[in-house]
Structure 1
């Protein structure tokens, strides 16, 4: 197996961030999409995208254990570019929602990049190496909103998808030229590959707990982010999509905690990181509920808290699950991230519906409930032994 060089880490980071960004470009654009396609667009488009991402993780990511990851990444990115063009040219909500679903499915190229890093990294520094690649993925999640908001405000929502298609083609070229060729880690058929996923769920309690905790956190995360644009574009704030997207820059600071969280998880128990991450996420919703409806400063503080909380917990959970079965990291990633993005789709739907029904206080109650439930998972689980 070739070593995880600095150049390979950078390539994987860019691919992970650039691919996953596609599922978040629509969020600052929801106000613009509502003007063209009606209110249903604010619920259906982000929910379809996240649901597609979850299905792609379930159906495509396990192939990384049975096929060369580089080939999978290149193929997904090229198909993704074609679907992004379809979204950019949509003239009906049905076409846009269908394209959004496929964008989610194919953006799982990001989830080929992360276990690729775990495969290539030495055991002693796997958490730190995964944390570095995840920094790219997390920055992609957060900066996607800022970039999309600015482009949408100046050039319109269609230009966002056109630009994303061009970026996807460029990333496919980077993957082909910059990633090593590696053999599959499992030589089994697709049916057996998928069946083995159920065995992992049954026999790995750490994986089940990590997936549940992170799914609940991601539900809280998406409940907030899918409604933020609707809040700040209305009175008393009156921001445009570019202003809504700027909150992504604040949250990007949370992504910088990923290598630190990974280093801590490499040397000590990840449990304090998990508890701290969930507690910070819950604290963010307390801030949002008390002051977020009237203060942009409070919203900014809450964004920083929620992103630091989500990201540190994510790296700690990934470090735990990637150590469970080295030959099955793609399938472990499937279980872990299928649960996470199912939670994300639930949170996006619950958040937008709560906001429509009861405004900002209802949204904060829903998000806070998800965060509180996630905090209970590490608090109630058996304690990990600190590493010597």
Structure 2
């Protein structure tokens, strides 16, 4: 590896080992964002707060993650990867330890915001890896990294829910802190010392992300797609824990983790989606993904019935939702990485910030929808968000077709 952000492709092929190590790193980091979704009911019980108040922990992590993407990911174009990534992992570990000792909801929310702010490793790794491989392999490599992130997402929910049920809600935070420190130690030895590709000052890096969002139509389009779809994804996973532990099912927190593990098929689907993006282009894959998310909302609505039928609907619906969201992310990132190689980290900053602002907003709105309307309200929200993305997509494709005809 010879740099960060806008790395130039090396003359010799890059082996699979560095990509696999980076995929593992993405999994560990992303897991810190998602395991609080599985233990939210346990936090509510342990701290004696309402379920929608406990859901603020999930929202704080996601908004913190969005802030970290905007404030810290541009440094991927300015600072070599080893000190940047290792430092961020160290700060994440401290945040996780602080969360594990919180005695009330406000300090837990504050620690959660710090965790989200610092654990922005995956958005830094993605642009780095894109510069290490040939253009016609970026979809596959991006799919591998995303598979690592998905693995962390799924396993963190499963282990978090199970450990929280057995040992209390603080145990998952301690486990996550230990894993984060271990991976930081490995990376401190494994990542090379490199020179940064950009000499721009920090304020200029931040301003560049905003400027790119203003001047690149394909970036804005990708941001809107992912913000709406990810808002629906976050809405479901923030509230499915409340549904499964509520009167309709009466299950424990580990049931959320088990449901997440059922969706491990997404780890296989995302590399396949990457190949389809390389072959057909991002727009074709985006269309299928948006339709899949709308279909998932319909299937998930049957989860309100409870029993075996409702549980089957939740399994199938969350699988469709996860595959649609993650495959769409592969397509959108391939689109934006092709815009300008020298500013990939800043392009990814704008993209991922919009995605997680959407995710945080989706969690917040859906928590209230669940409180006042129930599970059907959450499913309706998912369908409306995906429909908005689909309408924008059809508009863009139609406009491009008219421009071609005019020529």
Q: Sort the TM-score into its range (normalised by shorter chain).
A: over 0.9
Choose 15-24 or 2-11, whichever is displaced more: 2-11
Show the counterpart of 1:61. 73
In 2, distance between residues paired with 1:240 and 1:367?
25
Contact 2:304 2:376 in 1 (8 A): no
In 2, distance between residues paired with 1:309 and 1:341?
16
Whether 1:380 and 2:395 are equivalent positions in the alignment is yes
Contact 2:65 2:119 in 1 (8 A): yes
Q: 1:330 aligns with which of 302, 320, 345?
A: 345
Q: 1:135 aligns with which of 127, 147, 150?
A: 147
Whether 1:363 and 2:378 are equivalent positions in the alignment is yes
SS at match of 1:238: coil
Q: 1:233 aligns with which of 237, 240, 245?
A: 245
TM superposition shift of 1:144: 1.4
Whether 1:308 and 2:320 are equivalent positions in the alignment is no
TM superposition shift of 1:268: 2.2
Contact 2:86 2:187 in 1 (8 A): yes
Structure 1 stretches lacking a partner, 5+ long: none
Whether 1:31 and 2:41 are equivalent positions in the alignment is yes
How many positions carry a matched residue from both structures?
385
In 2, distance between residues paired with 1:334 and 1:279?
26
In 2, distance between residues paired with 1:52 and 1:154?
28
Choose 30-39 or 56-65, whichever is displaced more: 30-39
TM superposition shift of 1:183: 2.2
Choose 334-343 or 239-248, whichever is displaced more: 239-248
* Superposed counterparts of 1:151-166, under 5 Å: 151-166=163-178
Q: 1:207 aligns with which of 205, 219, 223?
A: 219
Whether 1:271 and 2:286 are equivalent positions in the alignment is no
Choose 30-39 or 213-222, whichever is displaced more: 30-39
In 1, distance between residues paired with 2:99 and 2:396?
43
SS at match of 1:328: helix
Distance change (3 Å), C-alpha of 1:181 and 1:127: farther
Distance change (3 Å), C-alpha of 1:183 and 1:382: farther
Whether 1:321 and 2:336 are equivalent positions in the alignment is yes
SS at match of 1:382: helix
TM superposition shift of 1:291: 4.5
Structure 2 stretches lacking a partner, 5+ long: 3-9, 402-407
Q: 2:360 aligns with which of 342, 345, 352?
A: 345
SS at match of 1:227: helix
In 1, distance between residues paired with 2:378 and 2:46?
25
Whether 1:16 and 2:26 are equivalent positions in the alignment is yes
TM-score normalised by the chain length of structure 2: 0.92
* Superposed counterparts of 1:94-243, under 5 Å: 94-243=106-255
TM superposition shift of 1:366: 1.2
TM-score normalised by the chain length of structure 1: 0.96
